[in-house]
């Protein structure tokens, strides 16, 4: 009887254990499935993160490449611009030197013909009067020539300073514009003075000396105004280059 009871108890325990195992099997399988899902999700997240990092690096590499190309293009443009400016400066200097040579020749020619003019004027106005006229005109010419030369020298110094500032990347647009105006007025003053000399040289041979004097006077007044205009433009240019040097303009350009 006891053996029978023991057997039943043993079989009952086996049944309970088997039932528990049967119940736990799906739970274990579910746990394993959940663990696999977590591993898969972690793997996908890692892959996505890796792809993001790769994309980020690719974008940075492309940005660096574009930046390097942009810098190279900028440097190339800068070099080309510098070369063009240097070429223009060489041409400007050559043209300026040629013009100065021609101006000197005209001035020397005018002075060289002083005696011939005096002889012509002696016949028309008398020796004393012609002497006074010649001396007056010669002094006036000398005064304007000195003024023009001073302005021209100042303009060259300012040009050098502007070129240096431009090479440093500074915006010198206004200074360039004002200097161009000044240089134009200086050239006009020199041409006007040459015209006045030519008219004056005709004085001894003219039939209407009064009219010729009036023409010479008008030309001289125009030269004086051009000198003043050039001086004013240089003053504006110096204001545009303030802080880059110590260049100063003359207070009275006609002296």
Q: DSSP string covering 231-253, please?
A: HHHHHHHHHHTTTS------S-T
Range of the domain at 141: 113-240
Of 70, 98, 126, the position where a domain reaches its end is 98
pLDDT value of residue 167: 82
Shared-domain flag, residues 219 and 155: yes
pLDDT value of residue 19: 58
Shared-domain flag, residues 70 and 128: no
Q: What is the pLDDT along the chain (255 residues), one digit of tens a residue?
A: 556 666 666 666 666 665 555 555 555 555 666 677 677 777 777 888 888 888 888 888 888 778 777 778 878 777 776 777 677 677 777 877 787 788 888 788 888 887 887 787 787 778 888 888 888 888 999 999 999 999 999 999 999 898 888 888 888 888 989 999 999 999 999 999 999 998 888 887 777 878 888 888 898 899 999 999 999 999 999 998 886 544 445 545 555
Shared-domain flag, residues 126 and 235: yes
pLDDT value of residue 182: 92
Residue 3: enclosing H or E segment and its boundaries?
helix 2-112
- Length, in residues, of the chain: 255
Of 66, 98, 130, the position where a domain reaches its end is 98
pLDDT value of residue 12: 66
Shared-domain flag, residues 151 and 190: yes
248 occurs within a structural domain: no
31 occurs within a structural domain: yes
226 occurs within a structural domain: yes
pTM: 0.61
Shared-domain flag, residues 20 and 82: yes
CA–CA dist 226, 16 (Å, integer): 123
CA–CA dist 97, 77 (Å, integer): 30
pLDDT value of residue 227: 93
Shared-domain flag, residues 162 and 79: no
Q: What Å distances lie between residue 184 and 158, 229, 235, CA to CA?
A: 15, 10, 15
Report the chain's terminal Cα–Cα distance, integer Å. 151
252 occurs within a structural domain: no
Structural domain total, the chain: 2
166 occurs within a structural domain: yes
Shared-domain flag, residues 208 and 142: yes
Neighbours of 189 (CB within 10 A): 26
Q: What is the DSSP string of 9-75?
A: HHHHHHHHHHHHHHHHHHHHHHHHHHHHHHHHHHHHHHHHHHHHHHHHHHHHHHHHHHHHHHHHHHH
70 occurs within a structural domain: yes
251 occurs within a structural domain: no
Shared-domain flag, residues 125 and 70: no
49-79 burial code (b ≥16 CB/10 A, e <16): eeeeeeeeeeeeeeeeeeeeeeeeeeeeeee
Q: What Å distances lie between residue 227 and 74, 188, 231, 233, CA to CA?
A: 42, 9, 6, 10
Collect all residues with Cβ–Cβ distance below 8 Å to 141 and sequence separation of at least 6.
Answer: 110, 193, 196, 197
Shared-domain flag, residues 125 and 223: yes
89 occurs within a structural domain: yes
pLDDT value of residue 21: 53
Collect all residues with Cβ–Cβ distance below 8 Å to 121 and sequence separation of at least 6.
Answer: 129, 130, 133, 134, 203, 204
Shared-domain flag, residues 117 and 219: yes
Shared-domain flag, residues 121 and 225: yes
């Amino acid at each position: 009887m006891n053996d029978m009871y023991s057997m039943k108890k043993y079989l009952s325990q086996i049944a309970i254990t088997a039932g528990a195992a049967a119940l736990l099997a799906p739970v274990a399988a579910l746990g394993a499935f959940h663990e696999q899902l977590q591993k898969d999700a972690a793997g996908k997240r890692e892959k996505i993160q890796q792809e993001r990092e790769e994309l980020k690096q690719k974008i940075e590499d492309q940005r660096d490449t574009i930046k390097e190309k942009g810098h190279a293009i900028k440097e190339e443009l800068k070099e080309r611009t510098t070369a063009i400016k240097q070429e223009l400066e060489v041409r400007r200097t050559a043209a300026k030197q040629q013009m100065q040579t021609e101006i000197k020749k005209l001035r020397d020619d005018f002075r060289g013909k002083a005696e011939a003019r005096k002889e012509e004027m002696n016949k028309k106005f008398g020796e004393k009067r012609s002497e006074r006229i010649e001396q007056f005109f010669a002094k006036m010419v000398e005064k304007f020539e000195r003024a023009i030369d001073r302005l021209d020298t100042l303009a060259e110094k300012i040009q050098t300073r502007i070129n240096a500032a431009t090479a440093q990347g500074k915006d010198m647009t206004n200074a360039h514009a004002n200097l161009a105006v000044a240089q134009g007025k200086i050239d006009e003053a020199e041409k006007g003075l040459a015209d006045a000399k030519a008219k004056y040289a005709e004085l001894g041979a003219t039939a209407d000396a009064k009219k010729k004097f009036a023409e010479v006077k008008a030309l001289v007044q125009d030269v004086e105004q051009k000198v003043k205009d050039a001086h004013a433009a240089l003053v504006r240019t110096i204001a545009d280059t303030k802080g880059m040097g110590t260049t100063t303009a003359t207070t009275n350009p006609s002296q």
